[in-house]
Amino acid sequence: MITAWVPAAARKVRQQAAPVTYALIVACCVVFLISPGSGLNPAYGTGDALIAAQRAYFERWGVVPVELLSDKPRVALTPVTALFVHGSWLHLLGNMLFLYVFGMMVEERMGHLQYGLFYLGCGCLALLAYAIAHADSGQTLVGASGAISAVLGAFLYLFPKARVTSLFPFLFFLPLRFPAWVVLPFWVALQWAAAGQEGDGPGVAYLAHLVGFSLGFVYAWGRGRRPSRVKASGTATEGDSQP
């Protein structure tokens, strides 16, 4: 429910390379554009043919809990492939916006290799946790939400005083600036409340968000290297696009 955009939070980091964050964004965008999910690839046809292709594509590369916990070898890598598959334009753009805003600063703090392994590892564990909690579900799970939630968790620990500008619809989209230690826990509270109503049908994997965020925060805390005070700001909104 909190969606970030325009990376004012990364002014200092812009002067340095964030190759892993950029590579992840490019990879997700390219995969989506050539997939049937985008609706732009003529090879998948239109109408019912396109819908069938989308269903088969998500089942092939996404995480299906009931299959992941079986003994089928082909599904072993789906927690990795699912991180690069998105179900719609809104899903993709919302996730990439979060990654762009918060990922660069976390990458700069962790280092490129460690950040890349952290992103993939936390993302896979978040999807696995969701699969275990919904072991009988045949619903396909795709997207980088779990991994990006881990980035948010790490960001909260590393940069708790970074200023984040938020827009709230119930306040007529009045921009308000809060530190990350206010905005991100509020986002977690929303995920927690939504996870309590989560079913097995189509929807947002709130549990994966919570697991990813927790893993990211604990990992950053375990590294024990919170930086000195960093003057930064970011922009966020409360809406439908979210990690």
Could you report the per-residue pLDDT of 69-121, keeping only the tens digit for each? 777 777 889 999 999 999 889 889 889 988 988 898 899 999 999 999 999 99
Q: Are the CB atoms for 179 and 160 separated by under 8 Å? A: yes
CA distance 195 to 136: 17
Domain membership flag for residue 109:
yes
Q: Which two tokens stand for residue 50?
A: 């396109």
Q: Which two tokens stand for residue 173?
A: 């989209």
Query: By percentage, how much of the chain surpasses pLDDT 70?
Result: 68
The region of weakest confidence among 43-47, 141-145, 183-187 is 183-187
Domain membership flag for residue 39:
yes
The region of weakest confidence among 36-45, 116-125, 142-151 is 36-45
Domain membership flag for residue 243:
no
Report how many domains make up the chain: 1
| Residue among 208, 203, 94 at smallest CA distance from 140 | 203
Q: For position 174, which CATH number holds?
A: 1.20.1540.10
Q: Are the CB atoms for 145 and 124 separated by under 8 Å? A: no
pLDDT reported for residue 30 = 96
Domain membership flag for residue 176:
yes
Question: Residue 165: left if φ>0, alpha if ψ -120 to 50, beta else—which one?
Answer: beta
> Which range marks the domain in which residue 203 is found?
2-238
Within 10 Å of residue 205's Cβ, how many Cβ atoms? Answer: 27
